[in-house]
Every structure is written in C-alpha cells, then in structure tokens.
Amino acid sequence: MAQGKDRVVLAYSGGLDTSVAIGWIGEQTGMEVVAVAVDVGQGGEDMQVVRQRALDCGAVEAYVADARDEFATEYCMPALKANALYQDSYPLVSAISRPVISKHLVRAARQFGATTVAHGCTGKGNDQVRFEVSITSMAPDLKTIAPVRDLALTRDVAIDYANKHHLPIETTRNNPFSIDQNVWGRAIETGFLEDIWNAPTKDVYNYTDDPTYPPLPDEVVIHFEKGIPTAIDGRPVTPLEAIQEMNRRAGAQGIGRIDVVEDRLVGIKSREIYEAPGAIALIAAHKELENVTVERELARYKKRVDERWGELVYDAQWFSPLKKALDAFIEDTQEYVTGDIRMTLHGGRATVTGRRSESSLYDFNLATYETGDSFDQSYSRGFIEIYGLSARLAAARDVRFGKGLQVGEGSL
Ligand code: ARG
C-alpha cells in the first residue's frame, strides 16, 4: 500500500452498528474499510447477503470466512474437555468465539494490507478486551479501534446515520436485547433484564423450547474418543455435527437455559441470560465419562485446572502462555476418556442413565456387595488405624488441655 489510503479490517456482523461503522470509520479516520464476516454457526441471515450489505454500505472489500468447523473443533472441543462453565454456569459462548474471529480478522488484515482492526464492541464489556488482546497476541503491530467506544458511534447516531444515508438495514429504536450467538450457544442481555428481579420472558429464548411442557423423553447415546464426541446413537459425527444435533434435541427439551449475575473482567456485575442446550448436555455427558475413566487424584486436580481454564478464557487470555500450558495438562487427562454415555433428555434436564467404557476404572468386583467381591475388607481396619492416627493424637491432646470435644450428655 505505497500511496493508497490506510485500510482497516472491520469485524462485520451485518447488523445496524457494524453496517453504519463502515461509513462512519471512513468519515472519521479517512481509512478504507474491509468488512470481514465470520461464520461461527450463528445462523440467521445467509452470509452472502451479509457480504453484499457490507459492500452496499461502502466497504472496499467484503469477505466471509466459514469458520464453523474450525470453531467447533478448535474452540468448542477444548471448552468441552475443560467442562468449561464460568462461575459454575456459563459455557463461555461469546468468550470462545472472539479468539477465532480475531484470527480471521488478522488473516484478512495481512491479505488486504490493513494496519488496523475494528470491532463493534462497547467500552463496558468483556468482548472488547477479548478482541484486542487476541489480536495483539497474534499481531502486535496491528492497531485496533472500536467505533462505538472510540468514535462516539452511539445507537441513536447509528440509526440517524443509517436513515440519512439510506443504508440497506432495518433501523429500530426498540429492539430491547443485545444478542450474541454461535453454535455453542446464545447470550442475551440488556433491556428489562437489567432489573435483576425481572424474570426472562418467552421472547428471550430462541435455541430452546419451554421445558414446562416438554415432548416425550429423548434417549441418546453419545460416544466419546479422548474427550470428543464422535458418534451419536451409533452414527459418526464431526464435532460441529455433534453440537448441532445436541442443540436440536436438547433444545427441544428446554435444556441449557441459564440466568445468572456474572462478574465481568471490567469489574461490573451484569445479568446475563444464556441458552446452550448442546453445550450443557455434552458437558454433562463428558463429565460423567470422566468420572468413570479418570483416576481420582487426577480428577480432583483437573477440576481446579478446569475452573482456572474457564476464568482465563473468560478473561481474554485464550492465546496466553498459561492457557496454553493448561491445555496441555487437560489434553493429557483425556487419554482414556473414551466410551459411551447414555442420557435421557427431558423437561429441561439431561440425566445420565448409563456409562460404558473399555478404559473404565470402575471395577464391578471391587464395588459389588454381592458374591464375587474381590475387595479384602480386612485391610480396611489397618488402613483406618493409620489414616486416623493424626486426628487421634490431636484429639488426645485436646483432652489433656481440657478442650476435648463436647458431645453432650446422655446416651451416645
Ligand atoms: N457476558 C458474556 C461474555 O462476556 C456474553 C456477552 C455477549 N454479548 C452480547 N452482546 N450479548 O462472554
């Protein structure tokens, strides 16, 4: 780009804000805008329609990246292996999509000779941090800009701009929600949900049906190989297909609706509604297969690693050294997480009813109370004697000092 204008690659969704941002960035900065729409399985409009709209709104180039399989395999599957639920509830829907979108933005920046990357986030959320930290982790030379945050592109300004320039986009002042969705789930915020006493109304949901009056129970058998679902009811599936099928089947049963007040990276507590039927059902199945196949000490430790992994990913650290090292740990734990989980999907719940694995650590002969018992109970006496020794010494000392535990009068 010797003489030409500077170029900026914009993460384009096809919605009002990013459509207006194309012309707005041009006016405010003099840069040319290359629009990049990344398909992470958000559904909705045809991506070619989205691409054409970007051109109609003044983009010099517009480009669609089909990242659905990449997102499912390289982002959703690691989240599944980590049983990732931020604050024990949120399956990181938006948090895992920002790194993959960023990757495609950086790639486009290189391809189209851009110096800057732009995104449509506000200055109050996590996603601005995720985009910018991801981008700088891959391409420290690229600059970033957020028109809503940095160029005063408020919603009212956007609506007026779109009307004035006859942009081919619906402008309405009363769409109550801010929504982000992809194949791993859907996030809904703002509007009346900002009053945390208000219950979500029916129109909030789209991936899930109301679990109050569910259809008949749906039994499913999911086969995992090293922590990844590879077949459903005997039919081989790709990670993307596994998520899509479970979204459909668990969604029909109203599984995976989440309503939570969450701690944002920027310090705000915010009320979020999520629906992630496939993710929640798959995590439930995966966790149970781990219960059967992962050794006790490793399983206990992994729980802590999983939690930390989720926090890092939530906190915009997808490409960080610690996250990468924890990935290696988690990958190692999945060596034997192979086998089948049977679940009943019904009325908002995914309930495990059976497990089967060649690499199971469950030993029937050790566990059984019936004949065939191979566990020598006489060993337990000596084990408890030594295991309880330090507690006994401490208790005896308490007695000597007159501080023995009072268990009350009467017959014990
Ligand atoms: N609070 C969630 C997160 O930070 C979801 C944000 C999604 N954005 C939205 N416009 N609803 O990961």
**From CA 132, how far away is CA 117, in angstroms rounded?**
9
Rounded to the nearest 5°, which phi and psi values hold at 339? 150, -170
- Measured distance CA(135)–CA(129) in Å, rounded: 10
User: CA distances (Å), 187 to each of 197, 257, 272, 392, in order?
Assistant: 18, 10, 7, 53
Report the residue among 17, 92, 122, 189 best suited for mutation to probe ligand 1: largest number of ligand atoms under 8 A from its CB.
189
The C-alpha angle 186, 347, 184, rounded to 5 degrees, equals 20
pLDDT at 409 over 90: no
- Kindly give, in sequence order, each residue whose CB lies less than 8 Å from that of residue 131, ignoring residues fewer than 6 positions away: 11, 98, 101, 102, 105, 117, 119, 121, 144
CB-based burial label for 257 (10 Å; 0-12, 13-18, 19+): buried
* Residue 98 among the catalytic residues: yes
Give the whole-angstrom CA distance, residue 308 versus residue 324.
12
Q: What's the 141 CA to ligand 1 centre distance in angstroms? A: 27
Catalytic status, residue 141: no
pTM: 0.96
Q: Does the annotation count 203 as an active-site position?
A: no
**What is the spatial distance between Cα 75 and Cα 130, in angstroms, rounded to a whole number?**
14
CA 190 to ligand 1: nearest atom: 11
Rounded to an integer, what distance in angstroms lies between the CA atom of residue 255 and that of residue 210? 9
With residues binned 3-state (H G I as helix, E B as strand, rest as coil), the percentages for the chain, rounded to 5, are 45, 20, 35
Which residues on adjacent β-strands are paired with residue 63?
A: 36
Average pLDDT score over residue span 128-157: 97
What average pLDDT does the segment 257-271 reach? 98
Instruction: Dig out the tokens for 365 from the structure.
Output: 């002969």
Which sign, positive or negative, has the C-alpha torsion 169, 173, 174, 179? Answer: positive
Please, how many CA atoms are within 13 Å of residue 121, restricted to the half-sphere of its CB? 18
Residues 148-194 have pLDDT tens digits of: 999 999 989 999 999 999 999 988 877 778 999 999 999 999 889 99
Choosing from 89, 178, 320, 360, the catalytic residue is 178
- Predicted confidence (pLDDT) per residue in 337-388, tens digit: 999 999 999 999 999 999 999 999 999 999 998 888 899 999 999 999 999 9
Atom 2 (ligand 1) nearest CA: 94
Kindly state the tokens that stand for 137: 């982790």
- Would you state the pLDDT for residue 2? 47
Of 65, 154, 230, residue with least CA distance to 146: 154
Nearest atom (ligand 1) to Cα of 94: 12
Catalytically annotated residue among 17, 180, 209, 306: 17
d(CA 287, CA 263): 25
Inter-residue contact 202 to 277 (CB < 8 Å): no
Residue 178 annotated as catalytic:
yes
